[in-house]
Structure formats: structure tokens, C-alpha cells
Structure 1
Amino acid sequence: FSLPLDAQIITIVGPNGSGKTTLLDALRTLFALRCSGKRDFRRYVRRSNERIAWIRAVVANQPGHSGKRPFFPCLADEVTLACRIRKAGGDWIRDYTIVDGNLPIEALEQTSDWIGLRDYQNRLAWGGLTPAITKVLALEQGDTDKLCEYSPKALLELVFDVFGDKEVLDNYQAAREEQKSAERELAELGVDLDRLKTQAEEKKAEANRFLEWKQLADEIHALEAEIVPRLEVAELEREIAAEREALQRAHCERGEKLVEQRESRQRLEIVRSEQDAAQAERKRLKESDTATEQRYLAAHDRVRDLEKLLDERNMLRAQLASEHGADAVALEKEHEDADAALAALRRKERELVAAFEEKTDTLRGERNRAGPPGDAEVARFRVKLSAEGIAHHSLAEVVEVTDPAWQAALEAILRPYRHLILLEREADRHAAWALGERERFRHFIVPERETAPPPRPMSLAEVVEFSAPIPRWLADLLNRIRRVENADAARDLPREQEWITRDGYHRERRGARHLGRPQEFHFGELARQSRMAALQDEIAGLDKHLQALRPKLDAASARLTTLRQRLLGLQSAQLLAARSEAYASAEAELPAARKALTEAIAERAATRGELDR
């Protein structure tokens, strides 16, 4: 069954039981979400009577404004999301993958690029599966109908809750209340200021009246006598001095109060910033606590399930011992060991067959391919050079090694230049460089070339032939490096002489070091033949291992068949034999599950300790 989802709005209509919820649960399973109600993917696959079920979707992978693709490192314009549900032992498990292109299920069955659930969810989130979309997809059946009954405020809170902005709304309401409180305080301060201004005007009027009266009194006293006015003047001078000092003290006190006010405001801002940081840290710790709690519950459930499975095995063994004696238990244990040994041999056989097929395909590709191993970036750039009409070669295409014994040493020296581009016409250099700048090509583009000079005796250039002109600096590099058998053979050489051994131990002006043995050879037909010979040796070794393994497989299978025939008629033994693989898997997984549970408990305790602190 397939369904196109390439429109802005898609309506799915059907009567009850027609599969609308089943379709949504398939989307939830593909996006690694919980199904609706008490359903899960196991419920659906159990009813299908099939051992494998597939859910597949093809989504766009176009580059965004930044040039990055949503499902990088996938580089195709479309990618396939796939979920494979298969039966493993007594339980159903999900496998997820994201691959380039629009691949059918038949091609997906051949892939081995399966990823874990958490990595898959992270890549979906990077690809655009936002928390808002996740929450809408997770709505239970009937919840969407209830949206019509919500009040406007409830709908607004739901929108903020989905998009994670409800805290902004709450903070906005608190800020509004603080603003209103500040406005009330400013109004009260304005009333006090008006009252003080009125009092000051009254005092000023009184002072004016006093001065008028004083002037009249001075005139009267000046007419009566001169001493009284002088005494009154002296008294007034003392009062003025006292008032001036009081005024200066008041001015100083006012400046001190202003400084205290600024410092208080700064301390208040610091406290508020610390409070905000503490709230953010607490929120992070709560989210971490929720995540650790989920990991703890998952680990606890896994340990419980495994222990329950092993308890079931122990109960069957006890029942077998009580019904048929210790010999039957020993026989069942021997059957379990034989089954485990056969499973291990088959697993090893599958690994060897897969490796054999991989090496065979690689060898077939090497036989059909000429030239050095390819590089996707270099191949794309060379296609664009050819489209621009710029003739060129790569360095690996013009180099031929004449002595296979020195192949590794030459590969080590020329490794940084294995993708170097040589232009046939020097006049094309500016166009090629402009294209390289636009494409951000990381390898050298060399227009200047000349015929290689005669090689110096015992130099590295002596074991190389060039089918086309090369850069002069490359010829100089190979000519100044002398070939020696080992480091002891270089004792009599001049101190400034560069040398290299067959294995790639290189001495230069900075010192000596091993350049490493290349995994792939790039230069010359000998490199290709060497790769093919190595592949043939590996294929022969794998075939030898397979030939030696198959008799062991036949013997283990015959031994298991014999033990099963001996267990016929023992009901408990038959149950143990039927689920022996599940029991063995549970016993092998239980230590790791207990360790994961212990780590989850410790992580949860540490997180809650930080929250309490």
C-alpha cells in the first residue's frame, strides 16, 4: 500500500474501522513516535502473520538557504526513510535507515546501513521534524475534535505550549504587572512632589514677606539708632552662614544618597541576572532529570524482561529435573550449548560469505576500471573542467612505476599530490583557477609543465617514468631523494642528503620519520595489479576459511539434530529447545542491561542531587 503526501493539506476520510488511525500509527512508527492509545507496532505485525513488515517514505532533500541539505551526509535530492519490523527471538524489533535516492523495498533488503533509534530521531529532527509537528502527530484519536470546543485563551495556550513559547507569555504577564506597579508608584511620587512644591512656594512667600518687614524695620531702626541695625546685621550674617553650612551638608547627603541609589540598582540588576541564570539552569536540570528518568525506566524494564525470560528458563529446567531427572537437565544443557555453537558457526559463516562477496565485487570493479582509485570530489571537478573545454590530466595518469619494490615509497612521497590536476594548455590557467575558486577545489591545479629531466643515479626519480610533461618542482623533488635499503645504509651519505627506504622511512631537512604504508596505490599499472593481487589473496584466504568451516557446521548441525531427537517426548525439554536462542541471547545481554540500569540510577541520582542543591 502506498500513499502520496505531496500536497499542502491532505484529508483522509473514511468510516470507522477503515484504517485512518492505522495509517497515522504507521506514520508515527516511521517517525519513531508512540502510537495512539494502547496500540504499538507489535500489535499490528502480530495480526499480519508475517515475519517482516516494511514502512517506507520518500522525502525531499533539497539544499536550504545555507546550501546544506536537511539529511546530510545524504547528497541526493530525495532520500528514503525506512522502518523494518522483524521478529527477533520472541519479540518484535524495529530497524531504521536513511539512504540516498528513491529505493524500493527490494533494494532496502540488501542494505546493511541501519542506525540506532536515537541517531534516527536526531537526524529526523535535523531534517525538519520539529517538536510542534511531533506533538500534533502524537495527538490521540478524538483530541483534534476537542480543539473546536477550546476557548480562545485555551487555544492560545495550546499554541504556545506546542511551539515552546508559553514561558514568554507568562513572563510578559509578570512584566505587565510590574509595569503597572511602577506606574502607580510614579503617580504617588508625583503627588508628593506637587505637595512639596506647594510648601516651597509658601515658604518662599513667607520669606519675601519677612524681607519686606525687615526692610521696613531696618529703616525704622536706622532712623532711631545705628547700633541696633549693626547688631541685627551681624546676627543675620551668622544665621546665613549657618544656613549655608546646612545647605552644603544637605547637598553632600543628597549626592551620597544618589550614589547609594545607583549601587542599589546595579546590585538589583546583578541579582536579577543571577536569578534568570538559576532559573535557566533549573529548567535544564529538570529536562535532564526527565531524560534520565526515561532512560532509567527503559533500562529497568529491559532488565526485568530479561530476568523474567531467564526465570522462565530456570523454571522449565527445574520442571524438567523433577519430571525426568538430572540426566534430562544435562541433556537439555548439552542441547543449549550445541545450539549456541551452531549459531556462532553460522554467524561466522555469514560474515565470511559477506566478506567474500564484498572482496569479489571489489576485484571485479578493479578489473573493469583503469587508472587510480576514484574520488567523488575530483571526479565532479574534472567533469566541470571538461564541460568548460579545459583539457587536463591527473598526475596519477601520467606516472608509471618501473620497479614494484619502490611502489610504497613513491606512493608515500606523492600522496599529497595524488589528485593534482595538470593542464594541457597553460593559457587555460585563469579559467581553471576561477572554476577551482568557485567550486572550492582543495587540490593543486598546475599549468606550468616541462619534459622530465634525466633522473639522477639512485634517486627516486630513477624508478619512475612519465608519459607527459610534469611540473619542474616535482622532478626536482624526486631527484633529490636518494633510495637506500635501510637507515644503516645511509650512514655514509652527506648530512644534507634526503633519502627514503623501500618501506617509506623518509629523512629530510627537518628530521626522519615513517610516512606510513598507503592502503591504496594510485600511481601506475603496477599499483592496479598490486591491488588486484592483494584482493585475490584475501579472497583465497576467505575461501579457505569457508572450506574449513563448513565441515564444522555439518558436524554441529548433526549433533544438534541428534540431541533434539533424544529430547523428543520431554515437553519441558522441547520448550527449552524451542526458545534456547532467546534464552541464550537474554543471558548474554543481561550483564550489559544491568550495567546500563546501574549507570541510569547513578545518573538520575546525580541529576536530582543537583536539583536539590
Structure 2
Amino acid sequence: MFHLQSLELVHWDYCQRVSLPLDASIITIAGPNGSGKTTLLDALRTLLGLKCSSPRDFKTYARHAGANIAWLRAVVDNQAQTRQTSSRPFAKRLLYSDQVTLACRIERNGGDWQRRYLVLEGDVSIEQLTDIPDKDLGLMGIEAWGRVLSAAGLSPAIAKVLSLEQGQTDRLCEFSPRELLRLVFDVFGDQEVLGHYDTAREHQQQLGREMEQAAHELDHSKAQLAELQNRVSNFQTWQHKVQEHERLATEVVPVLEWHGQRQKLTERSRDQRRHRQNASQNTTQRSSDNARLLQLLEQRNQGDTQVTQLLQERDAAAVQRDSTRDLERPLEALAKREAELLALVDKESDAEALTAHLDTLRTSESSLQSKHSALLQKRELTAQAQSALEGQNTPPFPDDARRLRQRLQAQKIGHRFLAEVVEVRDEHWRAAVEGVLRASRWMVLLEHADDVAAADAIASADRYRHYITAPGDTAPQADADTLLAHIRFDAKVPRWLLQQLQHLRCVDSPAAGRKTSGSWITPQAYSFDGRGARSLWVEPRDHQFGAAALIARRDAVERDLRSLDAALGPLGQELRDIRLQIKDCQKSLAGHSAAQELADRNDEFSAAKQALPAAKQARIAASLHWQSLDTAYADAKTRHQQTDTQYRQLELSLRQKHQEADRQAAELLATRKLHTANIDSSNHRRRQIPAAWRAPHVVQALVRTYQNDTQARLRLQSVHEELQLDTWEKDATVEERFRRMEVLVREQGYSLGDHQAKNAQAGIAVHNARESYIEVLRSTVRRYRKNIQELGELAGVAVNADLPVLENDDTVLAQAGLKVHFNFDGKGSIGLNDGEASGGQQVIKSLILLVALLKDDETASGGFVFIDEPFAHLDVRNIQLVGHFLRSTQAQYVLTTPITHNLEVFEPAEITLITSKKPKNAKWAPPIAVAKRRNAPAAV
């Protein structure tokens, strides 16, 4: 590998033009932070086609100078690398002089910067390069430049090492064993053997790809074969359906139609015989029914006569009963008057007692008047409730629901109350339905979800106590034993209500419900849930759901009215009697004598008392006589009505039977004529069908397959519709194409087998090439181990490397690694990056690994190394160790270090380049000072 001798920069960063000598083994670039040390290293990296320190690039440095063109030029040696060979680094470029000029021209191209490289024989200045035409310079791009330098010894592996950034000097010792082994082989490996191995492997991979292509083509052909096979099957199915369609149309349908007609004719013959037998039985039954009808007529006439006679006798008894009652009533009134006067006589002598009796009567009158008024008021309210129900289709709404409806309708919000959408399917479970839904009957069911917010605002303002719900779900099909099965909803209701009704099972009694689990309810609205059992009974007058609820309310109101009327009659009579007694007391207090009235009317009261028992007895006897006649009349009338009903039903039945018999006789005659005609038609069709088609076993087979002509006709229609589809393959050549594709698939199978055999042979060749590669790899590892051991001796470090396990297998080779061990000062073995080494030891480890890559078969070294601040964070002792190691090797080093009070960092340097910061107002940086050690040896 070549060495650097000088470097020249033009318009690079803030350097206007700088020429620097590099003809020494160790060059140190020193200066304060930010003075351009890394800038010089990045100039060398850019000249060699490497990446600059992150995040910088060559464009950044070119822009800082403010010029359109920047130059980087270096003079390197082109002498033979070892004594055993006369080959020069740039011999492949036909450059045989001892010096070679490497240059990089960076120029602005439009809005971007572009770099071009060139290599010329000898020491050619930038002015000379500028005078040479571009076509004679042989400018090249970054990729071609990389190939030129790689041929001169700057391999991609060393290029990676040279690209190490600031503070990463110890990066090599951080490589994994696999990475280190790969790097060593890239530098030292026999490229011819590696190329042969890569060629053999590429050939095997190519054969593998060809085999995969052949397999892919075979799979594709198989797919085409399968597609053709499907098309052949489709074509054959189409042919089969065409044949089936023709057979169904010409044979199956006519035969089964004829067979079905014959079966129908046979069945009709049986029906006609059965009809004749039924007609004979009906004639006998009609004769018996006629005799029964005459008997019922005679019984009806007798019953009519008996009812008329009993009605006359009952009416006469009623007249006699009323006359006896009319005779008894005045006698009862006289007896009652006498009793009242007798009760008053005892109190007439005592005015205080009479007054107290009057007060008592008035108190009783007031109490009775209050009861009478309360009953009248209750009757008036009941009558109003009855009037409110007149003309209504549903029970009335409560006031809060009515007010809410008015406000919702004013806002045009569609809604319905739950009470309006519930209908009880089974009245047996009405009480249960009314009880469960009573608390939710005035729940508002909105029709549109968009109205929820407006409805909430209205209900909140009215303090409405019932739910406002968005549109719910349609009631599903309920289980038969649930309460939901007995309810019909005319609108969507909330899901929770449906679930509640679905989970509430109907049981006949509480005892039956206790034997099961879950919630239940009885027809009497006794319900059980997880909290316990209770009654949900609702009085019929409070029923709400459906038309039956309105009827129940009306019946309850009518019963209440009758009950109130029955209570008002006796109470009114009692009130009138008390008022009459009050008048008598008032008359007595005014001077009227009850004893005088008794004396004056004594004869009248005595006669009434004597006549009253006989009149009462006569009234009772007349009433009993009328009651017995009324009962007899009712029984006779009931029997007469039953007899008359039986007579009318039997008469109507006989009339219908006569009409039905006449109709059946006419139909039987017409059916017989039609049946005869159908038999003749069937026989004619039978003669038209071939005998082989209508053989019994053939017909039975058709029946087993198609059952009847209707199913065969449906099958014919189905086949016809299938044949009308465009999915059928109708090309008869598809079978021939399928046979040709079968031949092609077999040939491709043979070709795939041939490719597999060739791939196996290539695998053997790869195996042999890998054997050679492994031998070279073993030799390379031994060579590198020798180099690091020799360098370790120079650095005073015991270095050893474990030879990797190498087998003839790509997986094993890919996982192989080079494990290197270091022993500093006899303190024990440490690995590449196990955290046991100090900072200086890390640097020495990396330098040993790095410089070992530059050593040839002999002990001479070659190449150069860029190390940015190798002495950072090192103490004096470690600086001395690193410096001693650098002096003991013969590689060329370009080092950077900041200005420090520790002068040990300058001790190894033969040439020291001193950089300075650019003044604030200056355009260019100050010149770089060069300090050269006396009697310093030239770079090897």
C-alpha cells in the first residue's frame, strides 16, 4: 500500500492555499478545539474517496471557502511494497514512477457541488492540472476512484477503518469476532480463491434460480393443466346437462306425466266408489234425521202451548201480588205511625227528654245526610267518569302526560306513550301485564334520535317523572313461557324493557314459581325477582293497555253506579223517616199531643193492626205463587228455546244436506263423464309412448329419481336455466388442449429433474470451492495471528488468537469468528471488548489490530492510518505506552491532538502541524505551522 508524502489544499474550508509535508512515519496535527484538525483529516478522507466525519461532508467545506472550485492534491510513493515483489501500487494504471499525484477537483455544478478524481504520474502541481484539458486528465467518479485505490492497496475494509470518526480510535477492539474475521479476510484473503468460491456459489445459486424457474414453470403449467382439467370437466358437465335436458324433455316428463295421470285416475275411481257409498249412507241418515225433526216439531208445539199458558198464569199471579202489596202498604204505614206516636208519648211529659230526643234525631239526620251527600258526590264523580269514557277508544291520560304531549306536539317532536303501543294478547295474563308495566305506562318513546336533546329540555322544565327514551328495538320473537309472549308492541321500545319481559317467566302459582330459578309472575300479578316476591295487582278500573282495558273500566264504573244506587235507596228512606220523627218532635214541643192523635185514631190503628197479619200473609202467599210460576215459566221457556234451537239447527242441517246431496249427485255425474273421457285420453297417450319407456321397472326407477312429473319439470327448468348461463365451456377442442398440456407437464417434469441433477453437481463444486476457501481462510487467520503476536511483542503485550471452527458449511462459516485475547503486564487475559481494559489499553488493542492489517508476509509494514485524538482521556503513562507502540511499528500515522499542557503527546511525532483558529473578521484561517524533528527518518 502506498504512503503519503505531501498534501495541498486550495479553497478547502477556510484554507485559501496550504501545502503540508507528510513524508514522515508519525505526523501530529495539533491545535485548539475548532482550529481545523479534523478539517485536515476530512480533506485526506475526501481525497481518498471516504466519508467525512459525521455530520460533515465535502460540500460543507467547499461552501465555506466561497469559491467555485476547490482542489485537494497529494503526492504518494509508488514504490514496491515488499522486497519479494517488484509490483508497484499503481502498476495497474500503468504508472511506474516512484511518485504519483492524487487529486480531487470539487466544483459547483448548478446549485450542487460535484467532485472528480484523477491520478497522474510524478509530482504534478495544481497549476499544471488546471492547464491540462479535462479530456486528458482522465477524471473519474467516486466509484471508479474507489476501484483505483483498492487496486493500489486501499481495500474497502481498510477504508472503513480510515473512516473512523473522532473519539472512535478504539472501535476495532469493539468489533465482534465475526466482524473481525470478515475484516481480516477482506484484507489478507486470496481474492482468486474467494472469487472462485463466489463464482461456484453464484453458479449454484444461478442453477438454483433456474431450478426454481423450472419449478415455477412446472407449477404454472400444472395450474394451466388444472384449469384445462376444470374446463374439460365443465365441458363434460355441459354435455351431460344437454343430454339430461333432452332426456327430461322427450322422455322423463311425458312418461311421469302419463304415470301421474294414471295414478290420479285410479285414485278418482276409488273416490267415486267412496262417494257412492257415502251417498247411500247419507240417504239413510237423512231418513233418521227427518223422523227426529218431526219429533222436535211436536215437542216445540207442546212447549209453545205450555209457555203461553204459564205466561198467562204468571201475569195473573203478578196482578194478585201487586194488589196484595197495595193492600198491605197502608196498613204497614199505619202500624209504623202508631209505633212512632207511642215512642213520642213517653217523652211528651218530659220536655227535656223530648228535646234530647230531638237532638239525637237531628244528630242522626246530620250523620245520614253526610253519608247521603258523600254517596251522592261519589255517584256524581262516578257518573262523570262514565261520561268521560263515552266515545273514547283508549283510557284517558293523566294531567302531566297530557301537558307534556301538548308541548312536544308544539315542537313537532314525534313521540308515543308506552300506554299507546301495548296490546295484551291473552286476557288471562292482563293483570300481570298491567302490574309489571304500570310504572312505565307513561314512558315517552321518541320516533327520532335527533329529538332527544329537545325532549330532555322540555321534560326537565316540566319535571316529568317518567322516562324519555330514544328509538329502541323491534320486539323479537319471544319464548312461549315468558310475559313478552303475551304482549304485542305497535312501536319500537327500549331494549332493557324487552329483556325484562323476556326474563320474566309465567307460572300458574307461586308454588310453581318457587320450584324454578329466575324471575316469575302469576296471572294474579304476584311477582318474584332477585329481591323477593310481591303483588303487583292493579284494579280493573285502573287498567290502561288496549281496548279491553277501556271495557273493564266501563264495567267497573257501572258496577260502582249500581252499588251506589242500591246503597242510596235505603239510606234515603231512613233519612225521610228521621225527618218525619223530627217534625213530630217539633210539633210536640209546639203543643201538639201524640196521645191525642193516638186516641183520635185508635180505631184506625186497631183495625190496621188486626188486618195487617192477614194482608202480609196474603202478600207472601201471592209472592210465593208468582215466584213459583215465574220459575216454571223460565224453565219452560228455556226448554222451549232449546227445543226450538234444536229444531231449527236440524232443519237447517237437513236442508243443507239435501242441497249438498243434490250437488254431489250432479258433480258425481259430471265427474263420471269427465273421468271416462280422461281414461280414453290416457289410453291414447299410452299408445304414443314407446313400450320400453313405460315398462314398470323403468317407470319405478324414474319415480325413485324424480318422484313425480312436477319435480321432473322443475329439474328440466333448472337444467334449462343452468344451460343459459355463460359459464359453460362449449369448445370441444379443450379436451385436445388438455392432452397436449399433459405432455408438456411431463416434459417440464423431466426438465426439472435435469436441473435438480445439475444443481446437485454444482453443490459438489461449491463444496470443493468452499474447502479451498476454508484452507485460505485458515492460512489468513494464522498470518493475522502471527502479525498481532509480533506487534504485541513490540508493545509489550501478550496477544493470542483462537483459530475459528471452520467446517464445509455456509452456516458455520457465516457464524465463525476470530477471538483475540490480550494480556497486559501479566494481569490475565482480556478479550476484545469485555470492559476489563483501561483507556490506553483499549487504544493499544485497536492499534495492534489495525496495524496488523497493514503488515505483509514479511515484517515490513505498509499503508497509513488516520487517528483523530488517540491520546484523549489518557494519562501520562498510557500516552507513553501508545507513543512507544507507534514508534515501534513502521506504518505511517496521521494523528490529531488538542493543545495541552501534557507535552508527552508530541514526543512520538516527527512532523507536527500546528493549526490556529480563524480570527473573527478574517476570511481565511492563519497559515498552518510546520515543526519537523531534526534527523527525523523519512516515512517508510
Q: How does the TM-score come out when normalised to structure 1?
A: 0.37
Rg: which structure is higher? 2
Query: Which has the higher relative contact order, 1 or 2, with Cα contacts under 8 A spaced 6 or more apart?
Result: 2
